[in-house]
Structure formats: structure tokens, C-alpha cells
Amino acid sequence: MSRVLGEELKNTIYIIAFTVAFLSIGSSFAHIDNSLLPEECGSCHAGHGLKGEPMLNHAEEEMCYQCHGSESNRAMMKATGRLAQQAELADLEKEFNKLYRHPVKQGTGHSSNERLPGLSSSSVNHAECVDCHNPHQEIVGGEKNYDVRGLSLSSQYVDKASEEYEICLKCHGTDFGIRSTSKNFTQVFALNNRSQHPVTKDIQNNRSVSLLISLDFESSLKCSDCHSNDNKDGPKGPHGSRHKYLLSGNYDTDVYNIENNHAYEFCYSCHSRTSILSNESFPLHREHIVGDLARNRKGTSCYTCHASHSSKDSEYLIAFNPEAVTADDVSRKVEFDSFDTNSGACYLKCHDHSHSPGRYEK
């Protein structure tokens, strides 16, 4: 009997403490709007929850899927009075059924005290909604305070991420993150890299003439600008995509490829296909991408010459794919030198042709 009373007392104390904290912060919480959640806290929290859970009636992503899952789930929430009839929410559960997705369905055991790969030397085999989202917070007015743990670019733990990329670095900022690759993104987006897509720093060099979007010298991008839903009308964010690497569009990276709108859909969403193929930014763009039938040369992917994230040593995200480009026969270099915005030179070998160097001018 005393043990039962002890558990009830502990739950009561938890409820009181949670309610005081909740009300003290007030409208900063995303789920406080009782016009959408008639039961307020009770729409999510039960008096006695599952073991190891903060009094929730479901565990992990299944908890979120009650409102952010299938239409039938939402119908049940509305029928029981926990979700307002007028609430219109996207089905995120189906995003996690796509070929490429964050592994929310893999592994179990998320804890609020868990230290993800970027914050410890251990690896985990799962990702949960609350690793990226604080269910009690609302981002308003473009503020950058995600109230979720993060990892800074200098690999320092931060209790509240101030940039979206700090949330991503928790798993992708080490060599042993979830489904790790050889890339450590604290290094990929290091501030001393020669060029990068402007994620961890604003645009530093000349704006590309091929850009379709408005970027100036104080502009930056978020990881989720590129890694997002392939369905433009679907829920935003890097939940799931039918394209590899959770990209928002198709991106063929094969050494030899046929150029078309679909092959480089991802690149062409920001960079004008017309501008690229008209050689406005580089005098040999068309020849490289489309090929040269007269000389029996096939087209190659943007990925053959450009890195998707950054280049440690070169301007314009130049970083050659070693599957297509090797050292030239004379200098034994694989390098790109930019003399100015209108000229440069490559030292390399591709298409069995050695450039020692290959110079160009606009």
C-alpha cells in the first residue's frame, strides 16, 4: 500500500511541477493552444503513463503520430475530445515510410538524458522526434532558439541550439554517427574552408550568376533547405524523401550521365539550367554537362567537379570526384586554380585527357 501511495505521490509532484513550469512560460509552448487541444496538457499526458515515460499514453513516435500521423489517428483524437475538430495537420508518419528517412522506427529507448553521438563517444541506432523537436516550444518571429540540445561547430555541447545545424551535428558531427560515412560535418562546414554553401557562415565570395533565389552577402542556408521532403506540397523538413541523402529533388551523381531537368532537379531548383547551359558562370559548363558528340565525349554529373557542401581548398565548391578525375600526367596534381572571377586553370586527367594545365577564360 505504501509503495502504491509513494508512486501516486511522485506522479502528483511531477504534475504540479510540470504545470508550474508550463504556465510560467505560457505562450512559448506550441501545444498550449486549447482551441486546438481542448484537453490542454491532458491531450498528451495521462495521470499514470508507461514506465519510463513522462506520463504519456504512447511511447516515442507513436505518441506524435496520434495527431501527426494518419487521418484515422486524428479522427480518434477528435472523437475522444483531445484534438479540435477544425485541426488540420499533415501526416508525418507516411514520410517515415519513404525509402530514405530519419530512422525513427529503428531502435528504442530514447531518454531526455541521452547523449547522442556528437555529445559522447557512443553511437545510437535510432532518432526520435524529440531529438530535433521540443514538443513544448513554438518558434515565432524567426527567433533562433530551438530549446533542443545541440553540438556547436567547435564540437562543444550546447543546452539550447541557436542554429538548426547544431541540432543536425548531434548525429552528423562525428565519425560515428547514425549510419555514419567518412564525412564529419563539423569539418565539412569548418569556417576556414575555402568555399561552402552558406550554412555555418554567410556568403563570403561573389554571388553565383546562375542563382534563381535571392541571396546576398548576409544570407545563409539551413540544412533543411536542401534535405527535405521531395513533395513540394508535403510537410517540410528532413523527415523522409524518395531521393538519396534525403534531398528535396533528384540528383544523379554518376560519372557519365545524360543531362536533363530530372537528372539535376536538385541543383536546378536553385541554379538556373538556362544560365548553366549558356556558360554564363563557366565557359565550358555545357560541354562538361551535356558532352561533345563530335569528339565522342559523354556528359558528366555536377558532382564530378563540385562538392555538395564545401571545398576545403578551392573556390566555387570545386572538389573533384576521384572516380572520374585523377592526377594529370605531367604535374601529378589534381587541382583547380582560380586566377580571378573570369579565368582559372585545372591540373587533372579526365576522359583520358591530361590537363597540365587546362586554362580557361570567360
Tell me if 127 is assigned to some domain: yes
Q: CA-CA distance, 39 to 21, in Å (whole number)?
A: 18
207-227: buried (b, 16+ CB within 10 Å) or exposed (e) per residue? ebebeeeebeeeeebebbbbb
Q: Give residue 51's pLDDT.
A: 64
Tell me if 259 is assigned to some domain: yes
Backbone phi and psi for residue 310, each to the nearest 5 degrees, phi listed first: -160, 165
Q: CA-CA distance, 302 to 248, in Å (whole number)?
A: 16
Q: Please state the pTM of the whole predicted model.
A: 0.83
Pick the closest to residue 225 from 236, 241, 235 (CA basis). Answer: 236
Domain check: are 15 and 132 in the same one? no
The total domain count for the chain is 3
Domain check: are 180 and 200 in the same one? no
Domain check: are 199 and 223 in the same one? yes
Domain check: are 173 and 267 in the same one? no
Give me the mean pLDDT over the 151-168 stretch: 89
**Greater model confidence, 59 or 37:** 37
Q: Give residue 3's pLDDT.
A: 47
**Greater model confidence, 33 or 281:** 281
Q: Report residue 83 as a C-alpha cell.
A: 484534438
Q: Give residue 259's pLDDT.
A: 95
DSSP state for residue 291 in the 8-state scheme: E
Pick the closest to residue 12 from 42, 43, 48 (CA basis). Answer: 48
Domain check: are 219 and 289 in the same one? yes
Domain check: are 156 and 122 in the same one? yes
Domain boundary among 171, 188, 205: 188
Give me the mean pLDDT over the 327-351 stretch: 89
Instruction: Kindly report the average pLDDT of the chain as a whole number.
Output: 82
Domain check: are 153 and 204 in the same one? no
Domain check: are 195 and 317 in the same one? yes
Tell me if 172 is assigned to some domain: yes
Tell me if 96 is assigned to some domain: no
Within a 10 A sphere around the Cβ of 110, how many other Cβ atoms?
A: 21
Say if strands 310-311 and 335-340 run parallel, antiparallel, or are unpaired. Answer: unpaired
Q: Give residue 276's pLDDT.
A: 96
* Span 214-243, pLDDT tens digits: 665 557 899 999 999 999 999 999 999 999
Pick the closest to residue 72 from 61, 83, 60 (CA basis). Answer: 83
Q: Where are the beta strands (DSSP E) in the chain?
A: 100-101, 150-151, 157-158, 195-196, 240-241, 291-292, 297-298, 310-311, 335-340, 343-350, 353-361
Domain check: are 118 and 225 in the same one? no
Say if strands 157-158 and 150-151 run parallel, antiparallel, or are unpaired. Answer: antiparallel
Pick the closest to residue 359 from 135, 304, 195, 340 (CA basis). Answer: 340
Tell me if 353 is assigned to some domain: no
Domain boundary among 68, 89, 110: 89
How would DSSP label each residue in 159-228? SS-SSHHHHHHHHHSSTTSTT--S--HHHHT-TTSSEE-SSSS---SPPPTTB-S---TT----HHHHBS
Domain check: are 276 and 217 in the same one? yes
Q: CA-CA distance, 117 to 86, in Å (whole number)?
A: 40
Domain check: are 200 and 284 in the same one? yes
Tell me if 287 is assigned to some domain: yes
Domain check: are 277 and 316 in the same one? yes
Q: CA-CA distance, 96 to 68, in Å (whole number)?
A: 12
pLDDT band at 1 (very low <50, low <70, confident <90, very high): very low
Percent of the chain with pLDDT strictly greater than 70: 77
**Greater model confidence, 182 or 225:** 225
Q: Give residue 24's pLDDT.
A: 41
Tell me if 358 is assigned to some domain: no
Domain boundary among 57, 89, 121: 89
The residue range of the domain holding 277 is 191-324
Tell me if 261 is assigned to some domain: yes
**Greater model confidence, 198 or 2:** 198
Within a 10 A sphere around the Cβ of 76, how many other Cβ atoms?
A: 13
Pick the closest to residue 165 from 180, 181, 148 (CA basis). Answer: 148
